[in-house]
Structure 1
Amino acid sequence: MTTARITAFTEPDRPGNLQIRFITIGGSYVDVTGPGKHSKNSWTCHGCQDTSRFPDEDWLWSIREKANAHAAACRAIPLT
């Protein structure tokens, strides 16, 4: 008989300009960073290392949707 082993992933350090943090379905995190509602916000996935495409053009309301969509689809697990 085998037993399942449940492990919790450690949340990464929070950067000073963190606006929003999403957890992915794989258990990793997607951080939205930047100055807030104005442009120059971006997102980065700690699991698959993907990032936003045009951070200089993204307002918080727009980048939030993109980061949340990535978190909902990303199955990468944290490697650390």
Structure 2
Amino acid sequence: MSTAPLAAFTEPDRPKDLLIRFITVGGSYVDVTGPGEHSDKNRWSCHGCGDSSQLIQGDFLFCIRPDANTHATTCRAIPLK
């Protein structure tokens, strides 16, 4: 087991339409962006691995929130910038 300290990463700029930001296990961030709770145009994207919502048109917040959180709990990619 390594005793090296974890690297500290700088939080990326927050987009104006940011609804939720999750931190990943790799120290990156998953952003949920869009118009809000009652819109089907919300999306999530990961700053670490580049993965994003599968639906091009987006989804309602109550549907997309669990997907973004699940991705954040499993993504080990670190931010490269």
**TM-score calculated relative to the size of structure 2:** 0.89
8 A Cα contact 1:41 1:55, kept in partner? no
Q: How many positions carry a matched residue from both structures?
A: 78
Matches within 5 A, 1:15-30: 15-30=15-30
Q: 1:25 is paired with a residue of what secondary structure?
A: coil
Q: Deviations over 1:15-61 (max 9, x none)?
A: 00000000000000000000011210000000000010114241001
The letter for the 2-side match of 1:10 is: T
Q: Aligned letter for 1:32?
A: V
- Identity score, percent: 64
1:57-76 paired onto structure 2 within 5 Å: 57-76=58-77
Q: Structure 2, unaligned stretches of length 5 or more?
A: none
Instruction: Read off the aligned partner of 1:69 and give its amino acid letter.
Output: T
The answer as to whether partners of 1:39 and 1:55 remain within 8 angstroms in 2 is no
Secondary structure of the equivalent of 1:68?
A: helix
- Would you identify which runs of 4 or more consecutive aligned residues in structure 1 move more than 4 Å? none
CA RMSD, Structure 1 to Structure 2 (Å): 1.4
CA separation in 2, counterparts of 1:78 and 1:33? Answer: 19
Q: Map of 1:42-57 to 2, 5 A cutoff?
A: 42-57=43-58
- Note if contact 2:23-2:30 (Cα within 8 Å) is conserved in structure 1: yes
Structure 1: state its 5+ residue gaps. Answer: none
